Amino acid sequence: MRSKLLLSSFLGLNGALAASGVPVGMEDALTTANMPSEFLEDVYFVDHVPLMALQADPRISYALYIPKAHYNPDPSKSETPKKLPLLVYIHGTGRNTVAIYDELVPFADSAPCAILSPLFPAGMDGPNDLDSYKELKSDSLRSDQALLQVFDQVAYRWPGLEMEKVYMMGFSGGGQFAHRFMYLYPEKLAAISIGAPGRPTFIDDTQDWPIGTKDVKTVFDKTVQPNVIGKLPIQLVVGGNDTEIHGDEAFWEWKKNVLGSGGLPPMNETRLESIKELRASWEKLGIKTQFDVVDGVAHNEKGVREAVLGFLGPQLKKSS
Ligand SMILES: *[C@@H]1O[C@H](CO)[C@@H](O)[C@H](O)[C@H]1NC(C)=O
Ligand SMILES: *[C@@H]1O[C@H](CO)[C@@H](O)[C@H](O)[C@H]1NC(C)=O
């Protein structure tokens, strides 16, 4: 039974929870509630948690930063069970997650919030794979389901984190993942910052995923609901000088010849242009956004960070 569950979960075919309500592979797991709280630092369950494999699919891992001073290891024992909100940081194509170890730490300490940084390695879908996680579905990966499984594993081990709804930020490739995840799971989000997604998906019933959303029911067994998405606080953010196209025509032609033309289309517009189109298309559907264009900044995640945290900070405060 257990191996069957593990296998089907690895293939992304089922939900993340076994019948017992224990996430796959977490049957014997220590949690912050079932161990002495004075040892939490000794097992690395607070402050910087080491990159941890997702038990249901160890190709995926996640780092966590949990400010110890603000974390309650077992809210069920408190009279006022206050949980710490969680901000999910989605990396870009470079898989650079260093922000969780430096830039975002003072923010987490003061917000306060915990930060979760999942890692979807390149190469999961073959030796030349860079993009599969952004599209949510590829031959061997459902990155949306993998993230939900990460959420289940984290919620189980860290009951003091608020996991009903989480905050999310992603820039570039991370912004691509983030807005696609929002289309499918708006009910999981409290607020979201989407930065410079080069090749976005539009809510468009005439084109298939990942360009449009025509086949979302078949591919994901989901319906995109603009009225639900429209209730979310959403930031779209881009550098005012994010006006270069990644790769020239010769590059995209070469890539198509060598790797085929599946998945995301070639980039034929600047990120400043495509984010404006995305915003306008959402407005027609009643989805309002806070649109921040940061002057003088090119395609640079750190360059827009202040604007991102300026949006997320007050949203996090609302939750406390
Ligand atoms: C860019 O490509 C998309 C689809 O691949 C197409 O719909 C769009 O018209 C193109 N835009 C330009 C400016 O060529
Ligand atoms: C940003 O773009 C403007 C207009 O093209 C240009 O004048 C300016 O030098 C650019 N700034 C930076 C920091 O690259």
88-104, pLDDT tens digit by residue? 999 999 999 999 999 99
Helices 143-157, 173-184: axis angle to 10 degrees equals: 80
Please tell me the residue having the least CA distance from ligand 1 atom 4. Answer: 265
Report how far ligand 1's centroid is from the alpha carbon of 266 (Å).
9
In Å, the largest CA–CA distance within the chain is 64
Report how far ligand 2's centroid is from the alpha carbon of 134 (Å).
29
Residue 91 CA to residue 98 CA, distance in Å, equals 9
Question: Which atom of ligand 1 lies at the shortest distance from residue 211's CA?
Answer: 4
pLDDT of residue 318: 85
Whether the CA torsion 35, 41, 42, 44 is positive or negative: it is positive
Asked whether 109 lines ligand 1 (CB < 6 A), one says: no
Asked whether 273 lines ligand 1 (CB < 6 A), one says: no
Residue 272 CA to residue 290 CA, distance in Å, equals 15
Give the DSSP H or E segment for 211.
none
Question: Which atom of ligand 1 lies at the shortest distance from residue 269's CA?
Answer: 13
Smallest Cα–Cα separation from 240: which of 184, 307, 177?
307
Please tell me the residue having the least CA distance from ligand 2 atom 4. Answer: 241
* 248-306 tens-digit pLDDT: 999 999 999 998 877 788 899 999 999 999 999 999 999 999 999 999 999 999 999 99
Please tell me the residue having the least CA distance from ligand 1 atom 9. Answer: 268
The pTM assigned to this predicted structure is 0.93
Question: Which atom of ligand 1 lies at the shortest distance from residue 265's CA?
Answer: 5
Report how far ligand 1's centroid is from the alpha carbon of 14 (Å).
36
Reading the block at residue 289, the tokens are 């956004």
Instruction: Region of 311 please: left (phi>0), alpha (psi -120 to 50) or beta.
Output: alpha
Asked whether 47 lines ligand 1 (CB < 6 A), one says: no
User: Counting ligands in written order, which one lies closest to the CA of residue 239?
Assistant: 2
Q: Tell how strand 61-66 and strand 114-119 pair up.
A: antiparallel
pLDDT of residue 223: 97
Please tell me the residue having the least CA distance from ligand 1 atom 8. Answer: 268
Asked whether 314 lines ligand 1 (CB < 6 A), one says: no
User: Counting ligands in written order, which one lies closest to the CA of residue 296?
Assistant: 2
pLDDT of residue 13: 39
Give pLDDT < 50 ranges for the chain.
Answer: 1-16
User: Counting ligands in written order, which one lies closest to the CA of residue 299?
Assistant: 2
pLDDT of residue 263: 78
Number of CB atoms found within 10 A of residue 288's CB:
13
Whether the CA torsion 276, 282, 283, 289 is positive or negative: it is negative
Alpha helices for the chain (secondary structure H): 2-10, 104-110, 132-135, 143-157, 173-184, 216-220, 226-229, 249-259, 271-284, 301-319
Overall size of the chain counted in residues: 320
Asked whether 265 lines ligand 1 (CB < 6 A), one says: yes
Write the class of the CATH domain 36-317. alpha beta
CA angle 131, 174, 303 (to 5 degrees): 130
Q: Which of 269, 270, 276, 281 to mutate to test the pocket of ligand 1 (most atoms within 8 A of CB)?
A: 269
Question: Which atom of ligand 1 lies at the shortest distance from residue 266's CA?
Answer: 5
Please tell me the residue having the least CA distance from ligand 2 atom 8. Answer: 296
Report how far ligand 2's centroid is from the alpha carbon of 274 (Å).
19
Report how far ligand 1's centroid is from the alpha carbon of 238 (Å).
20
